[in-house]
């Protein structure tokens, strides 16, 4: 058998990113039946695990639960890289190209989500930033909404345009709330 770790890593990374970018591709046991994604928030640091949070609304026609579900998906790409490229790690954990994702979920009250979402909708910033910087290491942050007719996807690197401060403030407040809530489980 010929080893081709570079191609295997590319395949693994592509699979992981495809799942992180599209909550509908989560493993079947993690997909929330009868729930639809409404909002996705993410942090992709260069040297730490990637994290994605997906807020999902119940999709029931007659029954309306009070709570929403929030899924947290964590991918430790450095750990997967070690597992795939270090023979001793690979022997222990397997050399497969399936990414190892940690998936958790919590419930939050609808009112809490409405407050978070309303604050986001009220954030004003220049959609077309006046500066574009280049960097290699850092963190990519993002927000995506899943409306039926109107979808929005915004992301930025560690150094963001000054005009985006209000958006960044909302993001930091929301991710702190999520980190706190998920630390309780």
Block residue for tokens 């009868």:
34
Compute the distance between CA of residue 69 and CA of residue 16 in angstroms, rounded to an integer: 22
Share of the chain above pLDDT 90, in %: 54
Please report the sign of the dihedral spanned by the C-alpha atoms of residue 174, residue 116, residue 164, residue 166: negative
| The pLDDT value given to residue 1 | 45
Q: How many domains does the chain have?
A: 1
User: Phi first, then psi: what are they for 4, rounded to 5°?
Assistant: -140, 70
Q: Which domain holds residue 74?
A: 5-183
Q: For the chain, give the mean pLDDT.
A: 87
pLDDT of 98 higher than 80: yes
Per-residue pLDDT tens over the stretch 138-174: 999 999 999 888 899 999 988 888 889 999 999 999 9
With contact defined as beta carbons under 8 Å apart, do 155 and 141 qualify? yes
Compute the distance between CA of residue 172 and CA of residue 6 in angstroms, rounded to an integer: 35
pLDDT of 131 higher than 80: no
Compute the distance between CA of residue 133 and CA of residue 128 in angstroms, rounded to an integer: 14
| The pLDDT value given to residue 62 | 54
With contact defined as beta carbons under 8 Å apart, do 75 and 101 qualify? yes
Token pair belonging to 98: 């399936």
**Burial environment of residue 177 by CB neighbours within 10 A (0 to 12, 13 to 18, 19 or more):** middle
User: Phi first, then psi: what are they for 39, rounded to 5°?
Assistant: -145, 135
| Beta strand extents in 60-182 (DSSP E only) | 67-75, 101-109, 139-146, 151-157
pLDDT interval class at 83 (50, 70, 90): confident
Per-residue pLDDT tens over the stretch 33-73: 777 899 999 999 999 999 999 999 887 665 566 788 999 99
With contact defined as beta carbons under 8 Å apart, do 39 and 56 qualify? no
| The pLDDT value given to residue 6 | 85
**Burial environment of residue 88 by CB neighbours within 10 A (0 to 12, 13 to 18, 19 or more):** exposed
Find how far residue 52's CA is from the centre of its chain: 2
Per the confidence metrics, is the pTM higher than 0.85?
yes
Share of the chain above pLDDT 70, in %: 87
Instruction: Find the CATH number of the domain harbouring 71.
Output: 3.30.1560
Residue that wins the pLDDT comparison between 110 and 129: 110
């Amino acid at each position: 058998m010929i080893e081709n770790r570079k191609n295997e890593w590319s395949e693994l990374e592509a699979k992981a990113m495809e799942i992180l970018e599209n909550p509908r591709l989560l493993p079947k046991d993690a997909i929330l039946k009868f729930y639809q994604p409404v909002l996705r928030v993410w942090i992709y640091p260069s040297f730490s695990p990637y994290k994605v949070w997906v807020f999902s609304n119940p999709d029931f026609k007659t029954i309306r639960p009070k709570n929403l579900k929030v899924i947290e998906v964590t991918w430790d790409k450095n750990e997967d890289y070690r597992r795939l490229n270090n023979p001793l790690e690979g022997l222990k954990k397997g050399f497969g190209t399936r990414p190892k994702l940690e998936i958790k979920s919590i419930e939050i009250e609808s009112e809490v989500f409405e407050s978070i979402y309303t604050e986001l909708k009220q954030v004003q910033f220049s959609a077309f930033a006046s500066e574009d910087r280049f960097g290699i290491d850092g963190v990519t942050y993002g927000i995506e909404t899943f409306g039926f007719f109107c979808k929005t996807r915004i992301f930025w690197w560690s150094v963001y345009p000054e005009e985006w401060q209000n958006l960044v403030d909302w993001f930091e407040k929301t991710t702190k709330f999520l980190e706190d809530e998920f630390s309780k489980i």
